Amino acid sequence: MSRPTLKAIAKRAGVSIATVSRALSGRGRVEEATRERILRIAEELGYAPDMAARSLVLRRTENIGFLIHALQSLSPHTFYGEILTAVERELRRHRYHLHFATVEDEALPALIKENRVDGLLLVGCDLPASLIQTLKERRFPMVLVDNHMPGVDSVFTDNIGGAFQATTHLIRLGHRRIAFITETMDNLSFRERFEGYRQALEAHGISFDPTLVAEGERGFEGGFLATQILLQRARPTALIAANDPTAASAIRAVRAHGLRIPEDIAVVGFDDDPIAVHTDPPLTTMRVFRSKMAVLAVTRLLDLMKNPEQPAIHVRIETQLVVRASCGGSLTPS
């Protein structure tokens, strides 16, 4: 049995072959009712495009690469797992396929060396700067996600502004001895959140105290270790964690010292991960809009692939303070 062709679909739908091509590729103007009819007929006939031949003719693969450091988890409900899900959903709308790869160093992954993708989403701030620079020099269409550097298109969270708002909220609740804990400072997002914390203290006339800053180690237990280190040398009335897993393990460490939350130490996190509503008490945190970040990154990348000579733009996405029981008080977000 021969394969269904564009001509067969066009004949049955009563339209031109060019219209069928535009409808199936998702590119070009086709009335929505006509597009739906063509897609239904193509499915009924069992039409499947010859992707290899199509790539040769169009000089594009219709694949997008999703590149992330091997340190990061892509499992469901993790920060980057949610971004991956949103990216894949958005690309499907535009009739693109997603290919992802992890890297551990500056070596180019095979999907780039073998030209398997038309563009790249470089996700997270753990990717080597040298790898990004190499791709930039190759003029490869790409967008940084949850990261930024000069001369490269990027979509990222307003980490400084978010931490500034979280710290200001605690100050408005009457706190002056506010600590900052993190898994590691070897992370751009965490360093920016620390900077927002410092800026808020300065803006409200509170002297920065380095004994109120503690660094643990990468991973979920990093917050527990950082809080232990902190409480051995200082007694804050509140603490801000660089992300929600760090805040969750900090809550355990505070309790292990016989202290109450929020009565003795108020706790605020960052990201509004699913874990935030399951801590005891539920965690006040800064909401990060991961799906919005993904959609904007995909939109920008597809635009860059059509018009590669555009100057780089940087899209900073604001966060939102979500007040729950872990910080005490009754103030609403300002």
**CATH class held by domain 63-157+290-317:** alpha beta
Lowest-pLDDT range, 54-58, 122-126, 128-132? 54-58
User: Is 319's pLDDT higher than 50?
Assistant: yes
CATH 3.40.50.2300 domain extents, the chain:
63-157+290-317, 159-288+322-327
Q: Is the dihedral of CA 71, 75, 77, 82 positive or negative?
A: positive
Numbered ranges of CATH 1.10.260.40 in the chain? 6-49
DSSP bridge partners of 315: 155
59: left (phi over 0), alpha (psi -120 to 50) or beta: left
Q: Report if pTM > 0.85.
A: no
β-strand 285-287 against 320-322: which pairing, if any? antiparallel
Lowest mean pLDDT among 25-29, 192-196, 327-331: 25-29
Residue 1 has pLDDT above 60, yes or no: no
Q: CB–CB of 241/193 below 8 Å?
A: no
Which pairing describes strands 238-241 and 285-287: parallel, antiparallel, or unpaired?
A: unpaired
Mean pLDDT for the stretch of residues 201-213 = 98
- pLDDT exceeds 50 at position 240: yes
Q: 212-231, pLDDT tens digit by residue? A: 999 999 888 899 999 999 99
Instruction: State residue 31's pLDDT score.
Output: 85
334 vs 78, residue with greater confidence: 78
Residues contacting residue 213 through CB under 8 Å, at least 6 positions apart: 179, 180, 181, 194, 230
Q: 157 forms bridges with which residues in the sheet? A: 317
User: Mean pLDDT across the stretch 176-186?
Assistant: 97
For the stretch 33-67, pLDDT in tens is 888 888 888 878 877 654 444 443 445 678 999 99
Q: What is the rounded radius of gyration, in angstroms, for the C-alpha atoms of the chain?
A: 24
The model's pLDDT over 63-111, given as tens digits with 9 standing for 90+, comes to: 999 999 988 888 888 999 999 999 999 999 888 999 989 998 888 888 8
- For 180, counting Cβ atoms within 10 Å of its Cβ (0-12 exposed, 13-18 middle, 19+ buried), the class is buried
Considering the chain, what percentage of its residues have pLDDT values greater than 70?
A: 92
Other CB atoms closer than 10 Å to residue 152's CB: what's the count? 17
Does the structure show a pLDDT above 50 at 334?
A: no
Whether pLDDT at 236 is above 70: yes
Find out whether 198 and 160 touch, Cβ atoms under 8 Å. no
Domain 6-49, CATH number (from 1.10.357.10, 1.10.150.530, 1.10.260.40, 3.40.50.300):
1.10.260.40
The Cα–Cα gap between 45 and 189 comes to: 50
CATH of domain 159-288+322-327: 3.40.50.2300
Please tell me what DSSP assigns to residue 271: B
